[in-house]
Amino acid sequence: MQLFGIPNCSTVKKARDWLANNGVAYEFYDFKKNGVNHALLESWLSQYPWEKLVNRAGMTWRNLSDAEKAAVIDANSALNLMLEKTSVIKRPVLVKNGKILSLGFSETAYQEFLK
């Protein structure tokens, strides 16, 4: 199991704490340090619409210019933005065998998938 995110994100911290407290083994993948690749994002976009994967409530999105925001109109343009600015990706992303189990953190959802 892999948990994708950035270590200083409070939501990622909650997910990591929950996983640790519940004895769930996982590998942490840091977007900031390791980046993401085209194939990974395409896989995620085949499972979730781009509107869910792009965190439009976060600071990275809010700090984009109006032109940059307006340019994100489909999966391809969202993919390019996520490759360029990994912190715009909704996080954490919990993945098992290439399948997204959870996008974001919800204790209820984690209990459902992992207990």
pLDDT tens, residue by residue, 26-54 = 999 999 899 899 999 999 999 999 999 99
Q: Is the pLDDT of residue 113 over 90?
A: no
Of the residues 9, 53, 81, 103, only one is catalytic, namely 9
2-114 has which CATH code? 3.40.30.10
Q: Model's pTM, two decimal places?
A: 0.92
Q: Is the pLDDT of residue 73 over 70?
A: yes
Q: d(Cα 57, Cα 54) in Å, to the nearest integer?
A: 9
Place of tokens 């343009």: 77
Comparing C-alpha atoms, which of 110, 109, 112, 68 is closest to residue 88? Answer: 68
- Predicted confidence at residue 10, as pLDDT, reads 94
Whether 9 is catalytic: yes
